[in-house]
Structure 1
Amino acid sequence: MATPNHLHILYLRQNARTNLPQTEEEIDYAGRAQWLRAAVLGADDGLLSVASLMMGIGAIRDDVKAMILTGFAGLLAGACSMAVGEFVSVYSQLDMEMKREKGMAENGERERERRPNPLQAAMASALAFSFGAILPLLAAAFITNHNVRLGVVVAAATLGLAASGGAGAALGGTKVVSSCGRVVVGGWMAMAITFGLTKLLGTSGLCI
């Protein structure tokens, strides 16, 4: 998740070859691409985290209330964690950029760059996580049959992961099918591992 934006790398390489200065429109485009990619990854993280939590609690309990409450707690905890982490990260980046700009100003150099906003980044990260996490919650909220509810959670997560994989491929310029396949298979593995290990712990008498 921390890899640089593929579009931004290609742009920087092309700019280095042509030795042309970046215009404000080009810089804004790269920035928008980074924000979109971060939003896709945040929604993907929220979707997979909450769906896996719901599958884990569903492995040992069959009541819908326990599953929904677990998923909702995961949504709140994950959104807060994402917001705090993004705020700290962007604030550190802001400090470094301000120090660099100060040094350039002392040397008589000038450079126009839009400074990152830590609060805006934190809110965007929390919203993206919450947007992804709400999908499995809504999918399972009105299903009374336990086995059907588990299947619906997996189906909803699969659709959401495929959509995020396609969006990530479009932003990164990669093949859509292979990107979707990797994201979906990885999501299946995460949900299966969470379900299986929680089931194992439950049958071993370690659950309350």
Structure 2
Amino acid sequence: MRHREGHRSHHSGWLRAAVLGANDGIISTASLMMGIAAAQADSSAILLAGVAGLVAGAMSMAAGEYVSVRSQADTEAADLAREIHELENDVAGELRELEEIYVARGLERSLAHEVAKQLTAHDALGAHARDELGITDMFSARPLQAALTSAGTFAVGALIPLLVVLFHPAQYLSFAIVSFSLIALVLLGGLAAKVGGANTFVGAARVGFWGAAAMALTAAAGHLFGVVL
């Protein structure tokens, strides 16, 4: 019978990209719109700024995530190529290397040697990738997946303040943008904390605090430059 357990770390890759994307989408777009609103711009200008922020932000998130994760993938590929070369040219040395790893983890040397020997016979590259390099299928770099996830969740997050502008009266627009964006950020932070097994209240409060700070500073900058210009 196969043993199955639901570990939260299984979700860490996509969860990180999704939460960062949605969080940045809400904060950056809402902050941009608050800065424009504080400069006494009308609803059309605020909406235009939000749309531009959504498109530019989603592309920036996708590009940044892709480049970052692609670099990680290239490093992993280079390490694996080196391991393949070493396994082809120094089998005994690579076997000793695995043995020392298992000894360092607490196995007796005789058992460590037997484990290393059997794993090498079964899948030598897989054993070295996992136990020497720390590369597994679960945590291996997937640049395209990370880029698409970040861009998509950024766009979803950015839609929240945009919809507020579309469906809310102009006279209370700034208050509505802040309110709905903060509610969304708190819910997002709480959900991410719950899925990750962390304290829900702390996660929600942390995201809400930094979101409020970002919008307040951007609004202050918009008001200052609006007065100057």
Other-structure match for 1:190: 214
Q: Which of 114, 125, 139 is the equivalent residue of 1:110?
A: 125
Q: What letter corresponds to residue 181 of structure 1 in structure 2?
A: A
Q: Which of 134, 143, 150 is the equivalent residue of 2:159?
A: 134
Q: Which moved more, 1:71-80 or 1:86-95?
A: 86-95
Conservation of the 8 A alpha-carbon contact between 1:33 and 1:171: no
Conservation of the 8 A alpha-carbon contact between 1:41 and 1:164: no
CA distance in 1, matches of 2:78, 2:30: 42
Answering whether residue 11 of structure 2 is matched by residue 58 of structure 1, we say: no
Cα RMSD of the aligned pairs, angstroms, is 2.3
Name the larger-Rg structure: 2
Q: Which of 188, 192, 203 is the equivalent residue of 1:164?
A: 188
Q: By how many angstroms is 1:27 displaced?
A: 11
Q: Which moved more, 1:73-82 or 1:120-129?
A: 120-129
Identity of aligned residues (%): 41
CA distance in 2, matches of 1:99, 1:27: 32
Conservation of the 8 A alpha-carbon contact between 1:79 and 1:127: yes
Structure 1 pair 95/32, CA: closer, same or farther in 2 (3 Å)? same
Other-structure match for 1:4: none
Conservation of the 8 A alpha-carbon contact between 1:83 and 1:122: yes
Please report the TM-score for the alignment, with normalisation by the length of structure 2.
Answer: 0.72
CA distance in 2, matches of 1:78, 1:44: 12
Q: Which runs of 5+ in 2 are unaligned?
A: 88-123, 130-135
Q: By how many angstroms is 1:173 displaced?
A: 2.4
CA distance in 1, matches of 2:146, 2:198: 26
Q: Which of 164, 175, 178 is the equivalent residue of 1:151?
A: 175
CA distance in 1, matches of 2:78, 2:24: 33
- 1:9-88 pair list within 5 angstroms: 30-88=9-67
Higher RCO (C-alpha under 8 Å, 6+ residues apart): 2
Conservation of the 8 A alpha-carbon contact between 1:58 and 1:67: yes
CA distance in 1, matches of 2:59, 2:189: 24
CA distance in 2, matches of 1:156, 1:81: 24
Q: Which of 178, 189, 192 is the equivalent residue of 2:202?
A: 178
Other-structure match for 2:75: 96
Q: By how many angstroms is 1:52 displaced?
A: 0.3
Please report the TM-score for the alignment, with normalisation by the length of structure 1.
Answer: 0.79
SS of match in other structure, 1:116: coil
Conservation of the 8 A alpha-carbon contact between 2:190 and 2:201: yes
Q: By percentage of residues, which structure has more helix?
A: 2
